[in-house]
């Protein structure tokens, strides 16, 4: 068998003035491994590079150096390939998926020596209208907020969570929380009417700090879905904190839950869905789970509390 190549896909501008990217490249050079670095220049480059480098069929570990968007690009290129394993190196941006591995995850995933020696597991992957996701798909006001964040990032002194808060206030106070939606499962119609939130979880975290289903597992073959029907502004503002902490079971009068492998949602007006940070727009979405579709590796000493029997490869 050929030795494993270690490919780092990196945005050279990551971090303040590219300092984080430069520091990471210095660390990569010191690794006693067969390494390569490919730099991205524009959106979609990470997926293209991952596909190109995977084509030879030799054993390959890909390090998506960046945030959830970079990881999502690499997942879309590598899912289903037995010779390719994927991980995420947090560089200068948000990394919601890695929070699955605990409060020390960001620091530990930046330790390239520990990460390169880490074990591999098989994770489930979501397919939403052809776009693959590893973490969470949202399709309510939370999705519209995520899609609008970029409109506020250019305001002087507004960064990160500040842009998210402004987008949240804009959508909740001025644009309206609820939109018509029809949601169907394999058993039939789940819900039809004005909808505030539809959240479909393979992982646990999104939106920088929300954890709607604390016991969601990326390897159990099940999607954990939450739906919030029409609510007013005051109810929404009272509920959003508990929702973000995963306390949905305390509020069955407001939050409906379903656990399964697929769901379809549609509307006459265009819907916004966000797949691990990737914004999509359509009148209808079909989302299906593909069990054990992606090889993912992580540092020794970390865990995501897997179900018994999850294979370590």
Instruction: Render pLDDT for 63-76 as a digit per residue (tens, 0 to 9).
Output: 999 989 999 999 99
Predicted confidence at residue 93, as pLDDT, reads: 67
Q: Which H, E and C letters describe the chain, residue by residue?
A: CCCCEEEEEECCCCCHHHHHHHHHHHHHHCCCCCEEEEECCCCCHHHHHHHHHHCCCCCEEEEEEECHHHHHHHHHHHCCCCCEEEEEEECCCCCCHHHHHCCCHHHHHCCHHHHHCCEEEEEEEEEECCEEECCEEECCHHHHHHHHHHHCCCCCCCCCHHHHHHHHHHHHHHHCCCEEEEEEECCEEEEEEEEEEEEEECCCCECCCECCCCCCCCCCCCEEEEEEECCCHHHHHHHHHHHHCCCHHHCCCCCEEEEECEEEEEEEEEEEEEECCEEEEEEEEEEEEEEEEEEEEECCCCCCCCCCCCCEC
Lowest average pLDDT, out of 223-232, 283-292, 299-308, goes to 299-308
Lowest average pLDDT, out of 78-92, 150-164, 173-187, 258-272, goes to 150-164
Contacts of 198 (CB under 8 A, 6+ apart): 138, 139, 140, 181, 183, 225, 226, 227, 228, 265
Work out the average pLDDT over 138-143: 95
Residues 96 and 122 sit within 8 Å (Cβ to Cβ): no
The listed range with the strongest mean pLDDT (90-99, 160-169, 282-291) is: 282-291
- Largest pairwise CA distance in the chain: 61
pLDDT at 149 over 90: no
pLDDT at 40 over 80: yes
Instruction: Specify the pTM.
Output: 0.92
Q: How confident is the prediction for the chain on average, in pLDDT? A: 91
Question: Rg of the chain over CA atoms, in angstroms?
Answer: 19
What is the dihedral sign for C-alpha 295, 297, 303, 308?
Answer: positive
The two tokens of residue 255 are: 């939050």
Q: What are phi and psi of 178, to 5 degrees?
A: -100, 145
Per the model's pLDDT, the better-predicted residue between 33 and 19 turns out to be 33
| CA 204 – CA 135 distance, rounded (Å) | 7
Work out the average pLDDT over 130-158: 87
Predicted confidence at residue 310, as pLDDT, reads: 45
């Amino acid at each position: 068998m050929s030795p494993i190549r270690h490919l780092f896909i990196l945005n050279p501008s990551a971090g303040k003035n590219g300092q984080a990217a430069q520091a990471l490249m210095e660390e990569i050079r010191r690794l006693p491994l067969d390494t390569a670095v490919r730099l991205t220049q524009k959106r979609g480059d990470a997926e293209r590079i991952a596909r190109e480098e995977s084509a030879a069929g030799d054993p390959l570990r890909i390090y998506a150096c960046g945030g959830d968007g970079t990881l999502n690009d690499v997942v879309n290129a590598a899912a289903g390939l037995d010779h390719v394993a994927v991980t995420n190196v947090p560089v200068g941006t948000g990394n919601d998926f890695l929070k699955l591995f605990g409060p020390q995850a960001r620091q530990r995933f930046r330790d390239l020596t520990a990460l390169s020696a880490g074990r591999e597991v098989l994770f489930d992957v979501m397919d939403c209208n052809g776009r693959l996701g590893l973490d969470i798909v949202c399709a309510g006001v939370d999705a519209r907020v995520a899609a609008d964040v970029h409109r506020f990032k250019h305001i002087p002194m507004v960064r990160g969570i500040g842009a998210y808060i402004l987008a949240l206030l804009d959508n909740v106070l001025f644009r309206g929380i609820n939109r018509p939606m029809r949601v169907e499962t394999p058993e039939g119609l789940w819900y039809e009417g004005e909808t505030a939130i539809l959240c479909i979880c393979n992982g646990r975290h999104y939106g920088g700090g929300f954890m709607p289903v604390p016991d969601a597992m990326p390897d159990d073959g099940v999607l954990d879905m939450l739906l919030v029907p029409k609510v007013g502004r005051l109810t929404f503002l009272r509920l959003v904190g508990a929702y973000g902490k995963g306390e949905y079971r305390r509020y069955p009068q407001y939050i409906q839950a379903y656990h399964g492998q697929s769901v379809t949602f549609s509307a006459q007006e265009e819907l916004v869905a966000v797949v691990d940070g990737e914004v999509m727009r359509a009148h209808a979405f079909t989302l299906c789970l593909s069990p054990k579709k992606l090889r993912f590796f992580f540092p020794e000493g970390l865990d995501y509390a897997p179900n018994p029997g999850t294979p370590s490869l």
